Amino acid sequence: MSYRMTTRTTGALRRLAIVAIALGAAAVGPAAARPAVAQTVGATEQAAAQEVGAEWAIAVHGGAGTARRESMTPELESRYAAALTAALEVGGEILASGGSSLDAVEAALRLLEDSPLFNAGKGAVFTHDGRNELDASIMDGASLAAGAVAAVHHVKNPISLARRVMEASPHVMMAGVGAEEFALEQGIELVPATYFFTESRWQSLQRAREAERRADAEPVGALGDRLGTVGAVALDRHGNLAAGTTTGGMTNKRFGRIGDSPIIGAGTYADNRACAVSGTGHGEFFMRNAVAHDICARVLYLEESIGEAADAVVMGVLVEQGGDGGVIAMDPEGVIAMPFNTPSMLRGYLTSEEGPVVEIFRE
């Protein structure tokens, strides 16, 4: 479906449709689900997770954060492992059958968005006002085409809307009500606001508000709550890279704050000449340092390996500035790096040669 401008009348009708969806969900009701995780590996901060090239490959992350092994129950870890493994297998099936890296990234991220375990889609955190604001972006390494959406409230799968922005409009980013009007035009599924409610995220907001009232916390939410983005990078049999990132943002955020996830070059980047990157962490630092693009630029211009480039930015640039987070990165040969400077990062990969492998802690 091609992009077209709406008239004032059709624009008003679309706004009414969005309002109707919102009104269908006025009361917040419980729908809890708590995160689950995966196994541990002995990867160091610098090490590439998979150092041998592959015909096709996919890697995913479920967010970098402060979780430690002693705070995770085996049941919790297994739930995370199952979700990440399912995402890898969905994307891997597409790649193994000759499908595109874009299709694999979108499919993997839709699955994670549909899980209440992650801070994206169904499991998105709450803003200070008690709403869910969703951001996402996707990029095609073959053409450098990209699409992004920010501050949407009713889009069930923001990653799919970001792809429609890339493929069915002349733009790179859309935000807010305008993005949801475009979603209606494109047949993207919209849901009532109550769809995104989970008890665990609601209680995180209450704790953040209380801490803020006591003036003993950062003004926009706890560090552990703001590191929960999900992302994917992939290489297909045709040699094309793709990357995507999707998030619910930061618990207790205010004033329409938007982080790095929908910003091309900050939280997401892909270029067939260099690499594909998806980031997770404190978005302000990723934006200031154009983290995803910087990693690819190091590969392209300094001829660093993907492991060296990702490590230099995550364990060097970010650490020096006090920026928390990590990335998954992949080069044109299917070599994967997954450095992070936090105690944990949910992550995994599957290639034509190995996997699925799912990890969380650093030992």
**339's tokens:** 């450095």
Active site residue 246: no
Closest among 122, 176, 121 to 149, alpha carbons compared: 176
Backbone angles phi, psi at 42, to 5 degrees: -90, 35
How far apart are the C-alpha atoms of 117 and 124, rounded to whole Å?
Answer: 9
Whole-number Å distance between alpha carbons of 218 and 111: 32
Residue 51, helix vs strand vs coil: coil
**Helix (H), strand (E) counts: the chain:** 11, 12
Burial class of residue 25, CB neighbours in 10 A (0-12, 13-18, 19+): middle
The residue assigned the tokens 């890697």 is: 59
Q: Cα 35 vs. chain centroid, distance in angstroms?
A: 16
Distance CA 55, CA 37 (A): 28
* Rg of the chain over all Cα atoms, to the nearest angstrom: 19
Q: Considering 85, 229, 247, 251, which one is annotated as catalytic?
A: 229
Angle at 278 between CA 274 and CA 283, to 5 degrees: 125
- The contacts of residue 56 (CB under 8 Å, 6+ apart) are 92, 95, 96, 234, 235, 236, 237, 334, 351, 352
Assess contact for 34 and 220: CB atoms under 8 A: no
- Residue 166 — φ and ψ, nearest 5°? -65, -40
Axis crossing angle, helix 8-23 with helix 176-186, rounded to the nearest 10: 100
Kindly list the catalytic residues: 229
